[in-house]
Amino acid sequence: MGITDRLKQQYNRALFRPSLLGLLVNPFYIIRQGLYRGVFRYRGYMRGRLLDFGCGSKPYKDLFAVSEYIGTDIETSGHDHRNEEIDVYYDGRTLPFPDASFDSIFSSEVFEHIFNLPEILDELYRVLKPGGYMLITVPFVWDEHEIPYDFARYTSFGLRHILTEKQLQVVEAHKSTDYVATIFQMWAAYVYQHILPRRKAFRIALTPLLVTPVTVCGLLLSAVLPKNQHFFHNNILVVQKPLSPATHEPFQS
């Protein structure tokens, strides 16, 4: 691997992991820090044979001590799959796995892109073993992305309702950021996406000068101002499939 490839690898890693390099080059540092910490916090629920639903590049794969890691995604989406690590594609309706195939399921930043979420939850329920856990992250505050495949935002109450309707028991529920941090992250995202030059090399070069100060200010003010989580970036939940699946009612189209 050459120097250019190594630098690119370190940059891509910094986009998902809280680090000094990430603070300097990642315009989405606050939201990604919150996501990473939430996934890390609940990683122990993931065990055995794991399905990463909507896996993309599998940025959190090495957090999970599992026996097998299988990633699935839909072929037609709002981004390019060329540099991703997808093991199996699915058709947007039916997962190509037998019933009770997985001990655990991980899905990060995917549900907002699924128009037929109740139907897909039935599929996730079907392929998860009784007693198995799902670790899910879903945005509440974020701009439209992967256009036009961006369909929903979920409050903590709405998401809990959708999941419990499918007989999935909420075991853990966490909000990834607070009010102040969320405001500053949105401002940093605005500067990066709409003020900096469109050419990616220029954006990366200018991020430490024009975006990182906004991020740092947000982190500092979030630490000292009164906490409030009515305005936040992501819901992070752990849900469990009951040991007896007899009460589950599939989605009726």
- Tens-place pLDDT, residues 24-52: 999 999 999 999 999 999 999 999 999 99
Is pLDDT at 248 greater than 70 in this prediction?
Answer: no
Which phi and psi (to 5°) does residue 41 adopt?
-60, -35
Is pLDDT at 191 greater than 90 in this prediction?
Answer: yes
- Rounded to 10 degrees, the C-alpha dihedral 232/238/239/241 comes to 160
List, as one string, the DSSP characters of 74-140. ESSSSS--TTS--SEEE-SS--SS-TT-EEEEEEES-GGG-TTHHHHHHHHHHHEEEEEEEEEEEES
- Tens-place pLDDT, residues 115-148: 999 999 999 999 999 999 999 999 999 999 999 9
- Note the pTM of the prediction, 2 decimals: 0.91
**For residue 252, what pLDDT is reported?**
56
Please, are residues 57 and 85 in contact by the beta-carbon 8 Å criterion? yes
Helix (H, G, I), strand (E, B) or coil at 144: coil
